[in-house]
Chain A
Amino acid sequence: MTDLRRLPLHDLHVELGARMVPFAGWEMPVQYAGVMPEHLAVRSGAGLFDVSHMGQVILHPRRDMAQLAADLAALMPVEVAALPEGRQRYGLLTNVDGGIIDDLMFANRGDHFLLVVNAARADVDIAHLREHLGDQVQPVSRALLALQGPMAEDALAPLVPAVRGMRFMDVMTADTLFGPLWISRSGYTGEDGFEISVPAPGAEGLARALLRNAQPIGLGARDSLRLEAGLCLYGHDIDETTSPVEAGLTWAIQKSRRTGGFPGEERILAELSEGAGRRRVGLRPEGRAPMREGTKLFAGDRQVGIVTSGGFGPSVGAPIAMGYVEADAAAIDTQLSGEVRGKLLPVTVSALPFHQTTYKR
């Protein structure tokens, strides 16, 4: 086993009673009080997540932002040039086969772009970006905290009053005694909230200040929250074989990009016009038995798909799952069955998200 990397806030997590587990090469807090109470605390109040394992990458233009935007757009089926300064957008790096190398957030911060990428994909992403963008690609090692929930604004505003004026996907810089914070109004829970990049030496002070009005939340609740919000987890719901269209991420491909000019355009454009052979769908198992990742899905005795994320939704109060099914089994309300411990149990194709999102538009 390789050595696990430690978060800048490792000692704080231990002090707060976290159970630490290996995840994507890092030693991460999976839970503090418990997945269920943490999940519900984010839905009703405010929760603080340490997501410093995620990759933060700055793209500094060699020449100018317009050229850099064009070069970045050549790697993603996503509109980059029209993203105004101070705004963030969801992006997808695609490969030549139309599969997804990673999903990410990118922000226009005036004289550079800031990318936040998945921890487990950071090395792959950086190599891929460097191959195309060269030394404009500069990974940064800062801590990253996510503050999520209906009380998130009230928890952050005492430190940074200007956040009250931010809308969903706005970004800003705030100079604080913890160092310059790079703040975005976004997250991975379906709730209103913020993601805050902070210089590692200031991270503990910032976390302790935020914990006065928020409770610490581990990776366990992060997973159940994002599943209820219908958000994809890389390596499970999307990977290098799934296309953005199959994954139901066509909303991320703006109209201006539906003519091509990105890796995998042949497959992605064909699927945009003709539909994909399989689709990511929401799934509601009947009864209480969760259908976990890997559960096979059947229409009659024909296997039509597989669960890629599944568990119990604490706010839904029932098991929920996502998975891929063949196109003719993907309509909402289609009755399927899932094989759980050798038994076929009923499951219904359902709309996503399972829990209504509450972003501040």
Chain B
Amino acid sequence: MKYTEDHEWLRIEGDLVVVGITEHAATQLGDVVFVELPEVETMVATGDEVVVIESVKAASDILAPIDGEIVAVNTKLVDNPGLVNEDPLGRAWFFKLKVDDLSVLDEFMDEDEYADLIG
């Protein structure tokens, strides 16, 4: 698993990259009450706002961590946004990206580095 400075996790699954948010991010957000997912087959560039999450407190965005094509989204989150708080690292994945070259993930933090970031 790799981690971004925006508190997303990235996991390789075959030739795809699965994206979610970390437990730390889920805790900071508070109870999630609404998730808006992108369309599949959307091409995204690094930094694009891809997902909207609303917690009881505020709205926030999930940005595309890398360039790629969205090939799957987790529609379970639309009906059950609370999954983001229950199981952020597992069942609450947000989308799967198809990327040209999986080696782009090397630049992201590993678990120890991320643990240092959130202190």
> Interface residues, chain A, CB within 8 Å of chain B?
31, 34-36, 39, 220, 224, 288-290, 292, 311-312, 314, 319, 341
* Residue numbers in A under 8 Å from B58 (CB-CB): 292
A39-B56, A288-B81 known, 10 other contacts, Cβ within 8 Å: A34-B31, A35-B31, A36-B31, A288-B78, A289-B36, A290-B33, A290-B59, A292-B59, A312-B54, A312-B56
Least Cβ distance of B25 to chain A in Å? 14
Least Cβ distance of A31 to chain B in Å? 7
Listed A/B pairs (19) with beta-carbon separation below 8 Å? A34-B30, A34-B31, A35-B30, A35-B31, A36-B30, A39-B56, A220-B30, A220-B56, A220-B57, A289-B36, A289-B54, A290-B54, A292-B58, A311-B56, A312-B34, A312-B56, A314-B31, A314-B56, A319-B33
Q: Across the A-B interface, give the 6 residue pairs with the lowest CB-CB distance, nearest first.
A: A36-B31, A312-B33, A35-B56, A288-B34, A312-B56, A290-B54
* Residue numbers in B under 8 Å from A292 (CB-CB): 58-59
The answer on a CB contact under 8 Å between B30 and A319 is no
* Residue numbers in B under 8 Å from A311 (CB-CB): 56-57
Contact of A36 among B34, B52, B54, B56 (CB under 8 A): B56
The answer on a CB contact under 8 Å between B54 and A31 is no
- The distance in angstroms between the C-alpha atoms of A292 and B30, with both chains bound, is 16
Residue of B52, B55, B78 ringed by the most chain A CB atoms within 10 A: B55
- The distance in angstroms between the C-alpha atoms of A289 and B52, with both chains bound, is 10
- The distance in angstroms between the C-alpha atoms of A341 and B53, with both chains bound, is 12
Chain B residues numbered 49-72 whose CB sits less than 8 Å from any CB in chain A: 52, 54-59
User: Which A residue sits closest to B61, measured CB to CB?
Assistant: A341
- The distance in angstroms between the C-alpha atoms of A314 and B30, with both chains bound, is 13
> Interface residues, chain B, CB within 8 Å of chain A?
30-31, 33-34, 36, 52, 54-59, 78, 81
- The distance in angstroms between the C-alpha atoms of A341 and B58, with both chains bound, is 14
- The distance in angstroms between the C-alpha atoms of A319 and B57, with both chains bound, is 12
User: Which A residue sits closest to B58, measured CB to CB?
Assistant: A292
Residue of A35, A224, A292 ringed by the most chain B CB atoms within 10 A: A35
- The distance in angstroms between the C-alpha atoms of A286 and B10, with both chains bound, is 33
The answer on a CB contact under 8 Å between B34 and A319 is yes
* Residue numbers in A under 8 Å from B31 (CB-CB): 34-36, 314
- The distance in angstroms between the C-alpha atoms of A34 and B33, with both chains bound, is 13
User: Which B residue sits closest to A343, measured CB to CB?
Assistant: B36
The answer on a CB contact under 8 Å between A288 and B33 is yes
The answer on a CB contact under 8 Å between B52 and A341 is yes
* Residue numbers in A under 8 Å from B56 (CB-CB): 35-36, 39, 220, 224, 311-312, 314
Least Cβ distance of A257 to chain B in Å? 38
* Residue numbers in A under 8 Å from B57 (CB-CB): 35, 220, 311
Least Cβ distance of B69 to chain A in Å? 22
* Residue numbers in B under 8 Å from A341 (CB-CB): 36, 52
- The distance in angstroms between the C-alpha atoms of A319 and B54, with both chains bound, is 11
Least Cβ distance of A216 to chain B in Å? 16
- The distance in angstroms between the C-alpha atoms of A34 and B30, with both chains bound, is 6
Least Cβ distance of B12 to chain A in Å? 31
User: Which B residue sits closest to A285, measured CB to CB?
Assistant: B34
Residue of B33, B78, B81 ringed by the most chain A CB atoms within 10 A: B33
* Residue numbers in B under 8 Å from A31 (CB-CB): 30
* Residue numbers in A under 8 Å from B34 (CB-CB): 288-290, 312, 319
User: Which A residue sits closest to B59, measured CB to CB?
Assistant: A292
* Residue numbers in A under 8 Å from B78 (CB-CB): 288
User: Which B residue sits closest to A289, measured CB to CB?
Assistant: B34
- The distance in angstroms between the C-alpha atoms of A220 and B58, with both chains bound, is 10
Residue of B36, B54, B56 ringed by the most chain A CB atoms within 10 A: B56
Least Cβ distance of A294 to chain B in Å? 11
Least Cβ distance of B118 to chain A in Å? 15
- The distance in angstroms between the C-alpha atoms of A290 and B34, with both chains bound, is 8
User: Which A residue sits closest to B31, measured CB to CB?
Assistant: A36
User: Which A residue sits closest to B81, measured CB to CB?
Assistant: A288
Least Cβ distance of A211 to chain B in Å? 22
* Residue numbers in B under 8 Å from A39 (CB-CB): 56
- The distance in angstroms between the C-alpha atoms of A224 and B33, with both chains bound, is 13
* Residue numbers in B under 8 Å from A35 (CB-CB): 30-31, 55-57
- The distance in angstroms between the C-alpha atoms of A144 and B17, with both chains bound, is 52
Least Cβ distance of A36 to chain B in Å? 4
Least Cβ distance of B35 to chain A in Å? 8
